[in-house]
Chain A
Amino acid sequence: MNKSVKYQELNLRPKKSVFTELYDAIKINPPAIFSLVVVILYVIVGLFGELMAPYEFDAMGAGAPLEKPGLQHFFGTDEFGRDVFSRILAGGRISLRIGVLVVGIAGILGSLIGMISAYTGGWVDETIMRVTDVFLSVPDLVMALVIATSLGAGIDAAIIGITMVRWTGYARLIRSGVIAEKGKDYVVASTALGLHPNRILLRHILPNSYTATLVQATFDFGLAILFASGLSFVGAGAQPPVPEWGALVASGRQYVQAAWWIPVFPGFAIFGAVIAFNILGDTLRDFLDPKLRHSMDQKN
């Protein structure tokens, strides 16, 4: 009690670890808890989905064809009698892989390019920015579609396609972040001290401008899942019989009159994962934005 009064007098907050603060932020925000649970569940399904599945995901005749959802088959069976629930669980791994690879590669590559752009300036910067303009001149999905098919449709082609349209976001974010930091006193001081530019960039500037990127990455994880499912749906991504969620929706489309469950349940998986990453991204943004964080403390 005494201690907290003292902190208040000094207008300081007790020093908490980032994790404690994050925990506090989530605690007062039920949607955030929901999203975190879903994301954790999603990762577990992604890693161990096939092991948890009641049937082999590609076992034909696990049940009768087009069997209704029930106790034997939670989400029913498809036209070959494959268990829809097991197929969705198996599809989790594909979706997780897409998210990790797209966000990882686009994030790292984009950030690197953005840093180079901001730090070198001049014609290098100009060229890089005009290249991002070109990529942004067509809607992401259309561009990803064109790239993916030109590489011969498939999951990996889809991943490359989505990565190639998403890196621009990171490049621009990091670039504006670095440019904003570059003029600040601590950077000028480090330069005056004779630190190597690389060291200043990596040790000083980057840690101060990564937060927006982290938020972007969270949103992009959901976006990657959504895009990949869209690409698979029109046939440019995963090809049947691969149990990617978008492909599952697509292949169930023709049986929709007799068996609504085949396309509907995989859609819930996409929807659930994407919405969870979106809420998590929102929470993270509110948390990392000091202005908003202050108001959150007051609410407490």
Chain B
Amino acid sequence: MNIGAFILRRLLLQIFVLFGLSVFTFLLMFGLPGDPAAILYSAGGSLGFEEYEHFRQKWGLDLPIWKQYANFVTNLLKGDMGTSLVTRAPIFDQLKSYFPATIELSVVAFIFALIMGLPLGVISALRRNTWIDHTIRGISLFGVSMPIFWLAIILLIIFYYHLGIVPSSQRIDLDMEIPRHITGFYLIDTLVDGNWRGFINSLHHLVLPAFVLGFSVVGLLARVTRASILEVISLDYVRTARSKGLHEKTVIFRHVIRNALIPTVTLLGLLVGGLLSGAVLTETIFAWPGVGRFAVQSIMLLDRLAVVDVTILVGIVVSTANLTVDILVAFLDPRIRY
């Protein structure tokens, strides 16, 4: 199949899926019995009765659900994600400020997971059925089975409460100046401004959350790498490479690993999903001001519009990652392209 047609088809499918996702979450949030505005009116009394009435009218809460949905989509296409019920700030602005925090955390976690996971998988495969292999498989099993929030708490007990060598929350010390907003990634923004103290400090804040988040996917990465190396290593062309007298190192690095990494690339899409759902828990524990924590807060306060928006955002990120992976694999593996 022509790669252009392939991408177009995937793109259309993606739009359809996102449409389905928006309908589903919208129905879930607005279709169920209960009054979306009442929680604010009743609970903390952040709305007065008139404001409450005004709110109901603005979002057309008395209209039939499909009209509400049409209203929502029209606004969304115009770039208006609506206003948060809780903070009463535009949801778009909030997501814009939280998004870089989550990306920064996830990217560092991801780098950590790659540095740990890939070599572990390769070593495990090359030393198959030795104690090294068993130990590494044990580690990845731990990573897959461990409740990530529990790991975070244990590490906090050790490194924060007892040793006192890492901060427990936030992206930067509270008494430090928040870096000037350039990209929203503190590590980059501080570097650009030559603010070394800020850079070190935000890195310091990142270490523990990123480790916890990364560890949750190391196991997955190591497992898939191991399996895919084992699959490639027994293929004929590897035997050919060996029998023509190539050095074992050359065989492994030039022939085996290169081809074995293709299935691992497919995994990246899955990893993005894993990191995002891990971020929900990690950000909650480390009070990390990111999309995950915002999602939990909106969900718990039934800030319905915010929930729908966040879900769609997450859907866009995950499906874009998957699409990118598919295209990447098509380029890496000519068998799929032609």
Q: Which residues of A contact B (CB under 8 A)?
A: 130-131, 133-134, 137-143, 145-147, 149-151, 153, 222, 226, 229-230, 233-236, 246, 249-250, 253, 256-257, 260, 263-264, 267, 270-271, 274-275, 278-279
Contacts and interface: CB of A to CB of B under 8 A. Distances in A.
Interface in B152-173: 153-154, 156-157, 161
A270 B150 contact: yes
Dominant SS among interface residues on chain B: helix
Contacts of B285: 253
A256 B21 CA distance: 39
A77 B287 CA distance: 27
B284 interface: yes
Name the 7 nearest CB pairs between A and B, nearest first. Answer: A267-B150, A139-B277, A134-B20, A141-B277, A275-B145, A274-B145, A139-B273
B105 to A, nearest CB: 15
A100 B311 CA distance: 28
Most buried by B among A138, A140, A279: A138
Interface stretch (B91-99, B260-268, B296-304): B296-304
29 contacts: A134-B17, A134-B21, A137-B17, A137-B20, A137-B21, A137-B315, A137-B319, A138-B273, A138-B315, A139-B273, A141-B281, A145-B296, A146-B28, A150-B29, A150-B32, A153-B300, A233-B147, A234-B280, A235-B296, A236-B300, A249-B147, A256-B153, A256-B156, A256-B157, A264-B154, A267-B153, A271-B146, A274-B146, A275-B141
Nearest to B148: A230
Interface residues of B, number: 44
Interface string B250-263: 00000000000000
Interface of B: 13, 16-18, 20-21, 24-25, 28-29, 32, 141-142, 144-150, 153-154, 156-157, 161, 273-274, 276-277, 280-281, 284-285, 295-296, 299-300, 302, 307, 311, 314-315, 318-319
Given A142-B276, A234-B284, A270-B150, 9 more contacts: A133-B17, A133-B20, A141-B280, A147-B28, A149-B307, A153-B300, A235-B300, A256-B153, A275-B145
Given A130-B20, A134-B17, A264-B154, A139 B318 contact: yes
A230 B147 contact: yes
B233 to A, nearest CB: 15
Contacts of A278: 141, 144-145
Contacts of A133: 13, 17, 20
B284 A253 contact: no
Nearest to A253: B153
Nearest to B149: A233
